[in-house]
Structure 1
Amino acid sequence: MTAPALEPDPQLWEQAGVRLELDGETAVVTLCQPKRRNAQSPAMWRALAAVGRSLPGTVRVVVLRAEGVSFSAGLDRAMFTPEGIPGERNFLQLAAAEDKDVDETIAGFQEAFTWWRRPDLISIAAVQGHAVGAGFQLALGCDLRVVAEDVQFSMKETSLGLVPDLAGTKPLIELVGYARALEICATGRWVGAEEAVATGLANLAVPAAELDAAVRDLAAALLAAPRNAVIETKALLQGAGGRSYDEQRSAERAAQARRMRDLAGLGD
């Protein structure tokens, strides 16, 4: 059976390796198990999903960061051992479950990776060191990525005989294109900061010591624009890939009409 959703308890979140800090219209979500290189577990995923559900409506920008030398070393390898992680099903137990159970369980895991692109938020991943597998996909879940010059992305799932299943394949293709995405996933090779910026995987690369400051500056710039204009613009861009040119022009007109009426005090 799928594990129950984690209640909104910051103390439990931190025990699972996640800390939330609120500062006005900005939320900072920190992976806080640096000694384990922020290896991910189902408990961490439940905590991340709970954080997303608990954010106050005043939050406009969410920053995802990590303590230590690595953003995230990926899935806790204990999941692949017979002993597993206490209280969690290991890989063999999940593999033996019915299809519906497997589907529901993975869907629950994916919730930790999907809420970052909500229409009312802009999310920024601040990524340093290694971002492997689930760590790579968590960074891909965000709208924007600022990376340290020492960053090393890798999608290792295929090398382990698996596939990336934490909602990372679509944003990866949208960012770097099908051919490069296939090559990155199928080989499991490392992608450094220079390539990440050149291919659109990252928006900006900075020295590691400047990562937090660069993300703060980007968050401030995002907060400078009126919220409703940012929301409408994000919706236009998110939907553009599924619309024809004429459909996109129509969506632009409708969005602009809403904005003009709102600014003129004629909105609903």
Structure 2
Amino acid sequence: MTAPVSTPATLDAWQQVGVRLEVDGELAMVTLCHPQRRNAQTPAMWRALAAVGRELPATVRVVLLQAEGVSFSAGLDRAMFTPEGLPGEQNFLALAASSDQELDAAIAGFQEAFSWWRRPDLISIAAVQGHAVGAGFQLALACDLRICAEDAQFAMRETSLGLVPDLTGTKPLTDLVGYARALEICATGRWVPAAEAGALGLANQVVPGDELAGAARTLAAALLAAPRNAVIETKALLLGAGERSYEEQRATERTAQARRLRDLAGIGD
């Protein structure tokens, strides 16, 4: 049974800007639902995605990000670069003319849509088909895990437009593929097809298109099968491993395991 997490009016408002949220017990499904626009992203969509992250029930353990239509997301709606812009939104030309503080705050607000997917109490999965371009690529990178259909293609087109990837994508991309490959992908803006994404470690799994939804749900079920606190502790160990020395990581493992053993034994701190 799908459980509402906010008022129907709020859920409807999110859907109007291309985001649908459904919660089924410990699993939340976030769907980009503007297939007629190839799920092009707008500030309104980003505000909705940020709100979803804030309003998820505490019971949710796994978040599955998926998209309707032939493309995961074609990236930023190019209307934001035009003088006309989008109704009710400040276009990027006007944004560029704002003060340093206003510009920084605006970009930080955009980033909120991308920054919650890796929080410690969740594991997030992006199910990607078709094009994932620019902001779409970065939204997939925001998730912990990615499953791709065989027709998936990634491209980081910001540099080709005279910009930089600024929606939190540079850190996970570099962590996944290394500095040199990340630089080449970003600076050229080239397409990275699903097979290469799998070989590079961008995709955890590549499946036929008609198997994408099922594979994502199977992975979600496998993640939910493990005890929640053990998954949280393991995620924290792995997220911090790159910043710790070998000895620091050993010590962190010992501390985490002590917590787990005492928890299992019913012994408090």
For residues 18-47 of structure 1, what are the alpha-carbon distances to aligned partners after superposition, in whole Å with 9 as ceiling and x for unaligned? 000011100000000000000000000000
Structure 1 counterpart SS, 2:116: helix
Structure 1 counterpart SS, 2:115: helix
- Alignment RMSD: 0.9
For 2:91, the aligned partner's letter is N
In 1, the alpha carbon distance for the partners of 2:268 and 2:84 equals 59
In 1, the alpha carbon distance for the partners of 2:56 and 2:213 equals 21
Tell me how far 1:263 sits from its aligned partner: 0.1
For 2:258, the aligned partner's letter is A
Structure 2 counterpart SS, 1:114: coil
The answer for the alignment partner of 1:142 in structure 2 is 143
Tell me how far 1:9 sits from its aligned partner: 1.2
For 2:200, the aligned partner's letter is T
The answer for the alignment partner of 1:90 in structure 2 is 91
1:28-47 equivalences in 2 (<5 Å): 28-47=29-48
The answer for the alignment partner of 1:79 in structure 2 is 80
Tell me, which stretches of 5 or more residues in structure 2 are unaligned?
1-6
For 1:51, the aligned partner's letter is V
In 2, the alpha carbon distance for the partners of 1:69 and 1:193 equals 15
In 2, the alpha carbon distance for the partners of 1:216 and 1:15 equals 25
The answer for the alignment partner of 1:255 in structure 2 is 256
1:48-67 equivalences in 2 (<5 Å): 48-67=49-68
The answer for the alignment partner of 1:120 in structure 2 is 121
Tell me how far 1:11 sits from its aligned partner: 1.1
In 2, the alpha carbon distance for the partners of 1:195 and 1:169 equals 18
The answer for the alignment partner of 2:155 in structure 1 is 154
For 1:161, the aligned partner's letter is G
1:216-255 equivalences in 2 (<5 Å): 216-255=217-256
For 1:196, the aligned partner's letter is A
In 2, the alpha carbon distance for the partners of 1:9 and 1:174 equals 36
In 2, the alpha carbon distance for the partners of 1:11 and 1:204 equals 33
In 2, the alpha carbon distance for the partners of 1:16 and 1:54 equals 17
Tell me how far 1:199 sits from its aligned partner: 0.5
In 2, the alpha carbon distance for the partners of 1:173 and 1:79 equals 28
For 2:10, the aligned partner's letter is D
Structure 1 counterpart SS, 2:72: coil
> Scaled by the length of structure 2, what TM-score is found?
0.96
The answer for the alignment partner of 2:3 in structure 1 is none
Across the two proteins, how many residue pairs are aligned to each other? 262
In 2, the alpha carbon distance for the partners of 1:243 and 1:99 equals 34
The answer for the alignment partner of 1:68 in structure 2 is 69
In 2, the alpha carbon distance for the partners of 1:64 and 1:156 equals 22
In 2, the alpha carbon distance for the partners of 1:116 and 1:227 equals 17
Structure 1 counterpart SS, 2:165: coil
In 1, the alpha carbon distance for the partners of 2:152 and 2:131 equals 6
The answer for the alignment partner of 1:11 in structure 2 is 12
Structure 1 counterpart SS, 2:101: helix
User: Among the aligned pairs, what percent are the same residue?
Assistant: 78
> Scaled by the length of structure 1, what TM-score is found?
0.97
The answer for the alignment partner of 2:194 in structure 1 is 193
Is 1:107 the counterpart of 2:108? The answer is yes
For 2:136, the aligned partner's letter is G
Tell me how far 1:230 sits from its aligned partner: 0.2
In 2, the alpha carbon distance for the partners of 1:249 and 1:99 equals 43
Which stretches of structure 1, 4 residues or more, deviate above 3 A after TM superposition? none
Tell me how far 1:267 sits from its aligned partner: 2.6
For residues 96-127 of structure 1, what are the alpha-carbon distances to aligned partners after superposition, in whole Å with 9 as ceiling and x for unaligned? 01111010000000000010001000000000
In 2, the alpha carbon distance for the partners of 1:200 and 1:252 equals 25
In 1, the alpha carbon distance for the partners of 2:201 and 2:47 equals 29
Structure 2 counterpart SS, 1:113: coil
Structure 2 counterpart SS, 1:186: helix
